[in-house]
Amino acid sequence: MFERYYRELLNFLTRKVNDRDIATDLVQESFVRVYAAQQAGQAVRDPRALLYRTARNLVIDQHRRTEVRREVSPPTNDEDVPDLDAIVGSTALEPDTILASREDLAAVLSTIDQLPPRCREAFILYKFDGLSYAEIAMQMGISVRTVEMQLQIAMKACWACMDALNGIPQQKL
């Protein structure tokens, strides 16, 4: 898997973060996380999609860390030293929030897994691989209109899952 996707993922991440060294670190971390998931017994049906999803999440984390570093710059003199006990951390780092996010992700992944095979393939190509409708149609050997319909079905399923997770009642047609 490493030999097959390393350079492709490195090029993708280099474009995202504009720094080859950071991209190299993110690629390495992506592979480590996917291997760890496999070692833990988690079934990985599409390792490439999982690698890209993991890499995108790591890019988001990288940007967040960069933003936090900018906001919390070192004070210029002793009078500017903030009271560290008064600084409140992000709610995204709280254990309950992390657990809820993981449960939400598992529910959405389960919803994607339950899609019909062609629908799931079109969805993954669009959302995870970033292909256009025309590229998906060409790769799958179907019309662009069929791609549109398959993606509508997939998106409705994902939105219904998210609505259920957020306690929003289902609308009846």
* Angstrom distance (rounded) from CA 42 to CA 27: 20
**Does 32 score more than 70 pLDDT?**
yes
Residue 5 confidence (pLDDT): 80
Is the CA virtual torsion 46, 51, 57, 59 positive or negative? negative
> Which tokens belong to 41?
């017994």
Neighbours of 120 (CB within 10 A): 20
Q: Tens digit of pLDDT for each residue in 106-164? A: 888 889 899 999 999 999 999 888 889 999 999 999 999 999 999 999 999 988 888 88
Q: Specify the CATH number of the domain 93-167.
A: 1.10.10.10
Q: Are 30 and 58 in contact (CB under 8 A)?
A: yes
Q: Are 68 and 92 in contact (CB under 8 A)?
A: no
Domain map (residue ranges) of the chain: 1-74, 93-167
Q: What confidence category does residue 88 fall into, taking pLDDT thresholds of 50, 70 and 90?
A: low
Segment 90-114 mean pLDDT: 77
Which helix H or strand E contains 164, and what residues bound it? helix 144-165
pTM of the model: 0.45
Q: Tens digit of pLDDT for each residue in 33-77? A: 888 887 888 777 888 888 888 888 888 888 888 777 777 666 556
Residue 77 confidence (pLDDT): 60
Residue 123 confidence (pLDDT): 92
* Angstrom distance (rounded) from CA 63 to CA 69: 10
